[in-house]
């Protein structure tokens, strides 16, 4: 066997081992999804939720110390700029870990996806030895992170969150900053090759298409494909992945969010008495009773009733807090939520015998400052209101066309 053939065989074996580590790391991340809530509960109850923050900070500091040892004593790096970038990347890890102290278990994503970024870098660096590798690593981490969130969405009592996709991606960005500008590996110094451009275009395509599918997984879509495939009917009970809606501005109320237009809200309200005639209205007297209805009137099956129930529960609970504690914010919320109900769910409100008494309304209306206060209802705030699904897909198609056109033009100018 020639020396060249032997070298290529060893390279292929090393590549297979590297990609095996990528697979094992990703598999470990996905394996924690079904048990994550149990682990979280155990840690919270046994040592306290702060354990997650301290554990992540310990690993970050230990990793920083190991890299400093490598740069100072093994590589004998003297460039101050490398250390500045190293501490910048580590500082970003620390800063965002502390930002997540309210839900510190989310900071564990920095460790999981930092490790995944490392293994991806090792695997890709055997074929891609130019600076495009850092973007490819980040986008690959984003793809796995999005797939992780999708897997969570399909688990009971778990939900999809675009914010978590961002946290996963940040781990890849911080790793790339540390590696590119801090460590500056000598192997990543070659000119850009066609293989690099092709790999970058492929991973951009995967990310954008998967993102488009996630954006398309709306309540309407869930209702359609679960009706066609009955074994998937259980997905109707899951938290919604993506919702598009409207941010309605009312001069008396402020802003409230809805899956329906103003016209649709009023049309549904007009028909509510006939539609909900079989409900045990007389037995519904407390927020808990309304909450039970959410199991059958979901945002997928009945968005109008779902929104009515959320607004009325928010109103009643806020009013209770205001009357017990005198909390002005709760009083404002109760007053504004009641305005939303009276103006856009009025017939339904009266049908449920849930309208405020004249004395209760006058109590708030006599104080004119309640009307002047700015308000934004928290219900439905996670809905996407700045663009539509059609706009999203149009942009995805345009970006993909631009990416592949640019990639083809760039590849023609490069050596193989």
Whether 230 is in a domain gets the answer no
Domain residues for the domain of 318 are 246-372
Q: Identify whether residues 269 and 362 lie together within a single domain.
A: yes
Identify the CA nearest to 159 among candidates 242, 40, 257. 242
Same domain, 58 and 148: yes
Q: What is the pLDDT of residues 385-412, one digit of tens each?
A: 999 999 999 999 999 999 999 999 988 8
**Is 27 a member of any domain?**
yes
Whether 387 is covered by a domain: the verdict is no
Element (H, E) at 4: helix 3-31
Band (298; pLDDT cuts 50, 70, 90)? confident
Asked whether residue 140 is domain-assigned, the answer is yes
Do 21 and 141 share a domain, yes or no? yes
The pLDDT > 70 percentage for the chain reads 94
Give the pLDDT confidence score for residue 16 in this predicted structure: 87
Tell me which residue of 234, 246, 243 sits closest to 214, measured CA to CA.
Answer: 243
CA distance 411 to 197: 7
Same domain, 265 and 186: no
pLDDT band for 375, please (50, 70, 90 cuts).
Answer: confident
User: Per-residue pLDDT tens for 79-130?
Assistant: 999 999 999 999 999 999 999 999 999 999 999 999 999 999 999 998 899 9
Is the pLDDT at 349 greater than 60, yes or no?
A: yes
- 242, 384 Cβ separation under 8 angstroms: yes
Confidence at residue 415, expressed as pLDDT on a 0 to 100 scale: 60
pLDDT category, 3, cuts 50, 70, 90? Answer: very low
- Mean pLDDT to the nearest integer, 368-391: 80
What does the alpha-carbon distance between residue 44 and residue 68 come to, in Å, rounded to a whole number?
33
360 and 272 part of one domain: yes
Residue 31 lies in a domain: yes
Residue 397: per-residue pLDDT: 98
pLDDT at 15: 82
pLDDT in tens, 32-43: 998 988 999 999
What pLDDT shows up at residue 240? 82
In the predicted model, is pLDDT for residue 368 greater than 60?
no
- Could you tell me what percent of the chain has a pLDDT over 90? 59
User: Does some domain include residue 408?
Assistant: no
Domain boundary residue among 372, 388, 403? Answer: 372
In this prediction, residues 241-264 reach a mean pLDDT of: 91
Contact (CB, 8 A) for 270 and 347: yes
Q: Verify that 262 and 176 share a domain, yes or no.
A: no
Per-residue pLDDT, 155: 82
- 29/159 same-domain check: yes
Decide if 380 is inside a domain. no
| Angstrom distance (rounded) from CA 416 to CA 411 | 8
In this structure, the answer to whether residues 181 and 290 fall within a common structural domain is: no
User: Which residues, 6 or more positions from 237, have their beta carbon under 8 angstroms from its beta carbon?
Assistant: 298
Alpha helices in 100-243 (DSSP H): 108-124, 132-153, 162-177, 194-216, 219-228
Residue 390 has a pLDDT of 95
- Residue 295's pLDDT is 80
Structure tokens at 38: 């149990």
- Banded pLDDT at 373 (limits 50, 70, 90): low
Alpha-carbon distance of 395 to 276, in angstroms, equals 41
| pLDDT band of 2, cuts 50, 70, 90 | low
Strands 246-250 and 254-258: antiparallel
Pick the range with the lowest mean pLDDT from 64-73, 299-308, 340-349: 299-308
User: Do 166 and 283 share a domain, yes or no?
Assistant: no
Rg (CA), the chain: 27
Lowest mean pLDDT among 48-52, 107-111, 235-239: 235-239
Question: Within this chain, do residues 39 and 181 fall inside the same structural domain, yes or no?
Answer: yes
- pLDDT tens sequence across 128-156: 999 999 999 999 999 999 999 999 888 87
Three-state secondary structure call for residue 246 = strand
Instruction: Write out pLDDT tens, residues 56-73.
Output: 999 999 999 999 999 999
Task: Flag whether pLDDT at 18 surpasses 50.
Answer: yes
Question: What is the reported pLDDT for 140?
Answer: 98
Domain count, the chain: 2
* pLDDT at residue 416, as a whole number: 52
Check whether residue 254 and residue 174 sit in a common domain. no
Of 168, 190, 212, the domain-final residue = 190
First to last CA, the chain: 26
- Domain assignment present for residue 223? The answer is no
């Amino acid at each position: 066997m020639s020396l060249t053939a032997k070298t290529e065989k060893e390279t292929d074996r090393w590549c297979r081992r590297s990609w095996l580590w990528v697979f094992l790391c990703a598999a470990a991340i996905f394996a924690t999804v079904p048990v994550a809530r149990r682990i979280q509960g155990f840690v919270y109850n046994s040592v306290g939720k702060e354990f997650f923050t301290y554990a992540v900070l310990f690993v970050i500091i230990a990793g920083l110390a190991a890299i400093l040892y490598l740069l100072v004593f093994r590589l004998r790096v003297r460039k101050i700029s490398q250390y500045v970038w190293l501490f910048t990347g580590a500082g970003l890890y620390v800063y965002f870990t502390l930002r997540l102290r309210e839900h510190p278990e989310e900071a564990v994503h920095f460790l999981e996806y930092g490790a995944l970024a490392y293994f991806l870098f090792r695997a890709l660096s055997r074929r891609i030895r130019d600076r495009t590798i850092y973007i490819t690593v980040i986008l690959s981490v984003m793809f796995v992170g999005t797939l992780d969130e999708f897997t969570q969405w399909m688990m009971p009592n778990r939900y999809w969150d675009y914010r978590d996709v961002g946290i996963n991606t940040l781990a890849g960005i911080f790793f790339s900053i540390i590696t590119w500008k801090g460590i500056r590996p000598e192997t990543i110094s070659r000119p850009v090759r066609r293989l690099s451009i092709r790999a970058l275009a492929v991973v951009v395509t995967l990310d954008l298409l998967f993102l488009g599918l996630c954006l398309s997984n709306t309540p309407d879509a869930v209702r359609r494909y679960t009706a066609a495939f009955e074994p998937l009917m259980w997905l109707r009970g899951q938290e919604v992945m993506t919702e598009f809606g409207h941010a309605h501005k009312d001069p008396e109320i402020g802003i409230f969010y809805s899956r329906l237009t103003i016209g649709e809200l009023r049309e549904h309200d007009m028909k509510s008495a006939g539609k909900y005639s079989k409900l045990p209205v007389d037995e519904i007297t407390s927020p808990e009773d309304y909450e039970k209805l959410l199991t059958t009137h979901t945002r997928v099956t009945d968005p109008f009733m779902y929104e009515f129930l959320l607004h009325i529960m928010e109103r009643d609970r806020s009013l209770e807090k205001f009357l017990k504690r005198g909390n002005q914010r709760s009083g404002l919320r109760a007053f504004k939520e009641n305005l939303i109900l009276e103006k856009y769910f009025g017939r339904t409100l009266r049908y449920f015998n849930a309208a405020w008494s004249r004395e209760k309304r006058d109590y708030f209306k006599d104080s004119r400052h309640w009307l002047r206060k700015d308000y934004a209802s928290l219900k439905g705030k996670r809905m996407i209101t700045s663009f539509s699904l059609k706009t999203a897909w149009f942009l995805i198609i345009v970006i993909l066309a631009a990416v592949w056109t640019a990639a083809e033009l760039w590849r023609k100018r490069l050596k193989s």
